[in-house]
Structure formats: structure tokens, C-alpha cells
Amino acid sequence: MKAEKSHGINDIEIGMSASITKIITDKDVKEFADLSGDNNPVHLDEEYAMQSRYKKRIAHGLLSSSFFSALFGTKIPGEGCVYVSQTLNFLRAVYIGDTVVATVLVTNINKSSKRVFFETTCTVKNKKSNRWYR
């Protein structure tokens, strides 16, 4: 994803937001496992996953949350942004074929330290049920 326009600290306003949408594929999960070293069979082995509480393979939680980094580096604030901290809560599993919409929303700006604070949310459309959930 190429940076659109970098926003300087004076260009950013509370309430600004940006989103990206991604359908999670089998290839995404396998490549994320290779890159991260997280080869947990609940992500990679269908038979193993069928015995888990999820009943089928799930995507890595950090795969979905990695989209926030893409948004920070390419949308708000944009090029040159350094992502320094985040607290995450994973509310539901993301399955292969689900659509993830990652959104960042500016909630606070500290101009003296040049820091911007965000609310980050992934909304998921389940492929099987065709329902959206957060």
C-alpha cells in the first residue's frame, strides 16, 4: 500500500479516520505464519482446528491488527509515522474467507510531543453467515 498524503501534526484533527478492507485468504494465514514463526496448528492444520473450540482454522489475531500499521504508515498520519504502542482485545475469531475492515480514528493529539492517539477497530464480515461483527 503506497502512502497517499502524509499529514503533518497540524493537519490532523480529532475525528479524522481511515479504513482498509481485506478478505483473509489461506495464503495470508500461511505467509503470516512463516513471517511470524507462529505455526500454531489452530491456524494451519484443518484436522487439529476441527477439534478446537473454533471448529475450523482461524487467522492469527495479529494478522488483523497488523492492518493498523498499514493505515498509520500510509493514511493517517502517513509516511514517516512510527507506531509506538497499542493495547489489543480480541473479541472473536477471524476465519479464512472473512472480510476484515480495519479502522483508525483520531481521538487525541498532543502537538508538543507530536503524538497522535487513535481508537482502532476491526469489524469482520463472516463469510458463512454474511453477518458483520466487531
pLDDT in tens, 31-68: 999 999 999 999 999 999 999 999 999 999 999 999 99
Count how many residues are written for the chain.
134
Q: All domains of the chain, ordered by start, with CATH?
A: 17-128 (3.10.129.10)
pLDDT digits (tens, 9 = 90+) for 67-81: 999 999 999 998 888
82 φ, ψ to 5°?
Answer: -115, 120
Would you place residue 5 in the very low, low, confident or very high pLDDT band (cuts 50, 70, 90)?
low
pLDDT of amino acid 83: 87
- Report CA-CA distances (Å) from 119 to 16, 87, 105: 11, 10, 5
Q: What is the pTM of this model?
A: 0.87
Residue matched to cell numbers 476491526? 122
